[in-house]
């Protein structure tokens, strides 16, 4: 599958080699692709990465995502699955999208795209390799399009996530739960002194 990852930061650099190893055709998108040649990964402009892709992965800072996707435009993104794993933090560490989650804002701005929120509750290395943590942990999947969610789940299993650890929590409005979990994630990370951990849902007997 052709995957265009928007961004060249920690998330993109973790996901691109993992999906490439799983047999996908991955292209990173950058506003300054010429300055990213040292990454050792294929890099193009953000628009060319999106044009190339069947699935677009938003791995940009959440405060910049809507503007960057706007530069690409609805015509390019129409019909594509957008996997959104971004969380927007302001300088004071408050959420940049406290009322309507970023995932829902992306879906509203690009109604003909199919947005799925996931990977927002783990650190970049764990996104690409869930075996870095001891024992199974859960990821959460939010989106309005069932087929887009099925495709996203398949791509997550290609990263090593077991299908029974991927919890569909509802429509794209439930992206708010994933994004607000960033507060919990940061508090736990600071307590542990370790950003590479997972969250596990333990149901009642």
Strand spans (E) along 24-180: 25-30, 43-45, 55-58, 81-84, 114-117, 139-143, 166-170
pTM equals 0.96
Cα(56)–Cα(18) distance, rounded to whole angstroms? 16
What DSSP string describes 116-156? Answer: EE-STTS-HHHHH-GGGSSS--BEEEEES-HHHHHHHHHHH
Give the model confidence (pLDDT) of 163-201 as tens digits. Answer: 999 999 999 999 999 999 999 999 999 999 999 999 999
Residue 178 corresponds to which tokens in the numbers above? 């994933």
Q: How far is CA 81 from CA 2, 49, 58, 112, 169, in A?
A: 11, 13, 10, 10, 18
Distance CA 13, CA 59 (A): 10
The answer to whether 65 and 41 are in contact (CB under 8 A) is: no
Sign of the four-CA dihedral 48, 52, 55, 59 = negative
Over residues 62-72, the pLDDT tens digits come to: 999 999 999 99
pLDDT at residue 71, rounded to an integer: 95
Question: Which sign does the torsion angle of CA 110, 115, 119, 125 carry?
Answer: negative
Nearest to 152 by CA among 62, 53, 51, 81: 81
| Bridging pattern class, strands 2-6 and 55-58 | parallel
**CATH 3.40.190.80 matches 2-192:** no
| Domain chopping of the chain, boundaries | 2-192
Rounded to whole angstroms, the Cα distance separating 65 from 73 reads 12
Q: What backbone phi and psi angles, to 5 degrees, belong to 70?
A: -65, -35
> ∠133-139-144 over CA atoms, to 5°?
165
pLDDT classification of 37: cutoffs 50, 70, 90: confident
Would the pLDDT of 118 be above 90?
Answer: yes
Of 50, 200, 79, nearest in space to 28 by CA: 50
């Amino acid at each position: 599958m052709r995957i265009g990852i928007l961004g060249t930061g920690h998330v993109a650099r973790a996901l691109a080699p993992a999906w490439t190893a799983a047999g996908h055709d991955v292209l990173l998108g950058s506003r300054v692709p010429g300055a990213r040649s040292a990454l050792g990964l294929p890099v193009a402009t953000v628009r060319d990465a999106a044009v190339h892709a069947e699935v677009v992965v938003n791995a940009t800072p959440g405060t910049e995502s809507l503007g960057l996707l706007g530069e690409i435009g609805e015509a390019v993104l129409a019909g594509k699955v957008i996997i959104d794993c971004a969380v927007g933090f302001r300088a004071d560490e408050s959420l940049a999208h406290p009322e309507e989650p970023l995932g829902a804002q992306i879906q509203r701005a690009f109604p003909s795209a199919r947005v799925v929120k996931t990977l927002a509750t783990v650190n970049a290395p764990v996104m690409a390799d869930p075996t870095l943590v001891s024992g199974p942990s859960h990821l959460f999947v939010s989106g309005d399009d069932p087929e887009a969610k099925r495709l996203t789940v398949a791509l997550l299993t290609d990263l090593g996530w077991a299908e029974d650890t991927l919890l569909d929590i509802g429509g794209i409005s439930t992206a708010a739960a994933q994004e607000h979990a960033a507060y919990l994630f940061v508090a736990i990370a600071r307590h542990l002194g370790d950003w590479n951990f997972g969250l596990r849902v333990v149901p009642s007997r």
